[in-house]
Amino acid sequence: MPFVAIDTMNIHLYRKLIEYETQQPVEVRDGQVFISNQAVSEYVFRQNYYFMAGDHVRDSTHAWYVILDNTGKNRPFQELDLLENSYLGAPMTKVFRRCYAINPELLELNLSGKNIPALFHNIHITDVTGEYFQTDDVTVNLDVQHGQYAYLSVFNNARWRPVHWGKTDGRKAMFKNMGRDVAYLPLCMTEEQQLVPAAPPFILTLLGEVKPVVPDMSQRQTLKLTRKYPAFRFSSWPAKLIPGAKIQAANDAGFSGAVTLHTIWKYGTEAGEILLDTLKNKYRYWRFYSAPNGYCSIAELNFFRNGQDITKQGKLVGSPAENKINAKEYVFDGDPLTFFRSPDASGSWVGLDFGESVNIDRILYMPHSDGNIVTYGDEYELKYWDGKGWSSLGRKIADNVHVTFENCPVGALFLLHDSTRGVDERIFTYENGKQVWW
């Protein structure tokens, strides 16, 4: 088992890990280190530790354990669960292993000066990215240089976060073992401890090709945007409850003889717009009818007549809710994070009684989601990376389940910000009429 010598000079490197393993307090007094009131001069660690820098999960990293099996293969796990089918299959930039030996490259980096990102202050980590997926060494031509090192960063929810370092050689820097299918921005650290762009962002593709992302200001395009953050596996399970749901209408309170005006087949990772023929559709009662095994899961509904939102003119009707947290009133509260859910898997519904027969020509619906779908009524600002920072392309209030921005540069890296609510944001390019997330 690995062990390290422990004294008052180095205990700050190991205190948290020892307390985690022993579940006992670590103290320093009278020039000695104590674990659970017992003086120690060395400590035997029970396992290796790994962490990953800068994946696609908000502003965070993941950590897990690894054991060496009888075949000599590393087996990652978390608590008692193997991770072979988990987030380890998602695009990553770097995987570092927490270890006991000093990393000489990081020691040299730390001795080079004070202008070093916080992640690399820990000299007890080593790069094991190549154990998990295919990587490439990347050489970057720098436009700006400060000091002996440059850094590669990824965008992790509203900021660029350094994930690796590289020595500069003239106006170039080489970064080893970088993960593919990721967008990177080269940075350097100024004497004022400010990270600044050192070169244009680029995408390291699945094939290992380096594609610079530089806006072409001479060519313009229109962007139709439906989300500000991608739908990950853990946030998109309610989407499965939407296909097969129906929009129905009737002139009877019990919906006797109800007419199905539309069936939703679209997967619920985005909101939807339904256009109706006003000459044929004049009814008093309107409802969202659950998909089979859909539990009538729905976050928002809006009804329009002649271009006007008349949702507030209707009286709430529908099936009983599963509980107070998922009450049917939430379908009309304008909050994308609240939603209705019935205790019955099928046959439940929620809707409005308008008091008289009305012509509805347009309906907007929003599935229960992570709140990152473009929300009707919210104000959005679109930005693009201009080489030095984020530059605004304007603000718009969403009047649909998408928001459209005209006159946007081709080939740019974009960021959509919801000024009304929420914190999650993810950079994207726009290719073949769709958002591509990085």
- Whether residue 400 lies inside any domain: the answer is yes
Element (H, E) at 176: strand 172-179
State whether 276 and 166 are in the same domain.
no
Q: Are residues 40 and 84 in the same domain?
A: yes
Residue 312 located in a structural domain: yes
Q: Examine the domain organization and report whether 244 and 355 are in the same domain.
A: yes
- Residue type at 19 in one-letter notation: E
258, 144: one domain: no
Q: Which of 58, 92, 126 is the last residue of a domain?
A: 92
Tell me, yes or no, whether 71 and 16 share the same domain: yes
- Give the neighbor-by-neighbor strand order of the sheet with 272-275: 272-275, 362-366, 300-305, 308-309
Say how far apart CA 342 and CA 416 lie, in whole Å: 33
DSSP assignments along 1-41, one per residue: --EEE--TTTHHHHHHHHHHHH-S-EEEETTEEEETTEEES
Residue 256 three-state SS: coil
**Is residue 357 a contact partner of residue 327, using CB atoms and an 8 Å limit?**
no
Q: What is the residue type of 401?
A: V
Q: Are residues 361 and 245 part of one domain?
A: yes
Q: Is residue 322 part of a domain?
A: yes
* Phi, psi for residue 393 in degrees, rounded to 5: -105, 10
pTM of the full structure: 0.81
Containing structural domain, residue 256: 235-366
Residue 346: DSSP 8-state:
S
Enter the DSSP assignment of 383. E
Q: What is the DSSP letter of 298?
A: B
Number of domains in the chain: 4
Q: What is the pLDDT along the chain (438 residues), one digit of tens a residue?
A: 467 888 988 888 788 788 878 889 999 999 999 999 999 999 988 766 655 454 444 555 677 777 666 676 777 765 544 444 445 556 778 989 888 889 999 999 999 877 788 889 999 999 999 988 899 999 999 998 888 899 999 998 878 999 999 999 989 999 999 999 999 999 999 888 889 999 999 999 999 999 999 999 999 999 999 999 998 765 667 889 999 999 999 999 999 999 999 999 998 889 999 999 877 779 999 999 999 999 999 999 999 999 999 999 999 999 999 888 999 999 999 999 999 999 999 999 999 999 999 999 999 999 999 999 999 999 999 999 999 999 999 999 999 999 999 999 999 999 999 999 999 999 999 999 999 999
The Cα–Cα gap between 206 and 135 comes to: 10
- What does the pLDDT read at residue 61? 66
Considering the domain architecture, whether residues 359 and 388 belong to the same structural domain is answered as: no
pLDDT of residue 137: 97
Beta pairing class for 149-155 and 300-305: unpaired
> DSSP state, 254?
T
One-letter amino acid at 438 equals W
Of 28, 57, 92, the position where a domain reaches its end is: 92
Nearby residues of 114 by Cβ (< 8 Å), 6 or more positions away: 193
Domain with residue 397: its CATH number is 2.60.40
Residues 298 and 240 in one domain: yes
Q: Is residue 97 part of a domain?
A: no
Which of these three, 159, 178, 212, is where a domain ends? 212
CA quadruple 389, 395, 400, 402: dihedral, nearest 10: -10
Do the Cβ atoms of 131 and 179 come closer than 8 Å? Answer: no
* CA max distance for the chain: 89
174: in domain: yes
Can you tell me whether residue 89 is helix, strand or coil?
A: helix
Q: Classify 36 in phi/psi space as left (phi over 0), alpha (psi -120 to 50) or beta.
A: left
Residues 144 and 171 in one domain: yes
CA-CA-CA-CA torsion sign (279, 280, 284, 290): negative
In-domain check, residue 99: no
Question: Which pairing describes strands 42-44 and 81-82: parallel, antiparallel, or unpaired?
Answer: unpaired
CA distance linking residue 195 with residue 119, whole number of Å: 13
**Amino acid type, 79:** E
Q: Judge whether 98 lies within some domain.
A: no
Residues 241 and 194 in one domain: no
Query: Going edge to edge, which strands form the sheet with 349-359?
Result: 259-263, 246-250, 282-289, 349-359, 315-318
329: which residues sit within 8 A by CB, 6+ positions away?
A: 316
d(CA 375, CA 300): 9
Q: Is 100 within the bounds of a domain? A: no
DSSP state of 280: T
305 lies in the same domain as 282: yes
